[in-house]
């Protein structure tokens, strides 16, 4: 009887220990999954900023690329194809969103528009949003830089709806739908004259083609710096037309 009782106690203790080990392993798995989910949990505020690097190019040494993701959900991309077009820069504007650490750029007509976001950079994905598998030593990463804005290499061509009234110049960019104050320059004065001659009513918005840069300027009220569009070249108004 004593031997039988000892055997039963040993079996019971073994079963309890085995069950506890299974629960511990399960808890460990849950903790690991939770840690991974936290690692992938990145917010738009954390992604905002400027990313720069050289991305692969099919028929050139590389594409010097700068992507600026703004806090108002707009983006600006500057691309310079090395050894092509005499170093000319190409620009894209639009709006961006973030889902499951994937940055999606709305407004890109040709080429990849999705990037995997981390706290340190962006990784370019293919047209379907999948990671690019390269057989060569190609780099698809754009590291983050310290600044949240950058100086463009040249003027940015764009279309927008322009309004001038009470000494205020406002431009709503077609590609983003965002409205910016316009810096008073010689080109802006030329725009004022044409606008006054073409408008049919007060505060009428007219479609305009311009070239310029986005820069921070003091606001008209207070010392706050606001993002402003500086017209470097006024091209023409397109009366009667709207943003496409």
pLDDT tens for the 244 residues of the chain, in order: 445 444 443 444 444 445 444 444 444 333 333 334 344 579 999 999 999 999 999 889 999 999 999 999 999 999 999 988 788 999 999 999 999 999 999 989 888 999 999 999 999 999 999 999 877 789 999 999 998 889 999 999 999 999 999 889 999 999 999 999 999 999 999 999 999 999 999 999 999 999 999 998 888 776 788 899 999 999 999 999 999 8
Q: What is the CA radius of gyration of the chain?
A: 28
Query: DSSP alpha helices (H): ranges in the chain?
Result: 2-40, 44-47, 186-198
According to DSSP, the residues that pair with 152 across neighbouring strands are none
Q: In which domain, by residue range, is 232 found?
A: 156-238
According to DSSP, the residues that pair with 81 across neighbouring strands are 63
Q: Is 6 domain-assigned?
A: no
Whole-model pTM?
Answer: 0.79
- Could you tell me if 103 and 168 lie in one domain? no
Rounded to whole angstroms, the Cα distance separating 57 from 232 reads: 31
Q: Is 219 domain-assigned?
A: yes
Q: Is 191 domain-assigned?
A: yes
According to DSSP, the residues that pair with 159 across neighbouring strands are 209
- Could you tell me if 171 and 112 lie in one domain? no
């Amino acid at each position: 009887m004593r031997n039988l009782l000892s055997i039963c106690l040993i079996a019971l203790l073994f079963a309890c220990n085995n069950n506890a080990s299974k629960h511990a392993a399960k808890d460990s798995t849950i903790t690991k999954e939770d840690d991974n989910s936290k690692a992938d949990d990145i917010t738009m505020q954390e992604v905002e900023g400027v990313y720069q690097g050289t991305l692969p190019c099919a028929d050139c040494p590389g594409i010097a690329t700068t992507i600026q993701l703004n806090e108002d959900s707009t983006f600006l991309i500057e691309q310079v194809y090395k050894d092509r077009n005499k170093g000319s820069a190409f620009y894209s504007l639009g709006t961006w969103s973030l889902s499951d650490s994937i940055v999606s750029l709305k407004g890109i007509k040709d080429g990849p528009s999705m990037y995997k976001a981390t706290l340190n950079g962006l990784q370019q994905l293919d047209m379907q949003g999948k990671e690019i598998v390269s057989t060569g030593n190609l780099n698809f990463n754009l590291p983050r830089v310290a600044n949240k804005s950058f100086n463009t290499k040249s003027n940015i061509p764009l279309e927008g709806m322009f309004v001038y009234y009470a000494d205020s110049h406002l431009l709503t960019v077609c590609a983003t739908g965002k409205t910016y104050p316009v810096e008073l320059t010689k080109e802006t004065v030329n725009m004022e004259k044409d606008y006054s001659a073409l408008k049919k009513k007060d505060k009428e918005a007219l479609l305009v083609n311009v070239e310029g840069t986005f820069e921070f300027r003091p606001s008209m009220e207070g010392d706050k710096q606001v993002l402003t569009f500086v017209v470097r070249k006024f091209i023409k108004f397109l009366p009667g037309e709207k943003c496409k």
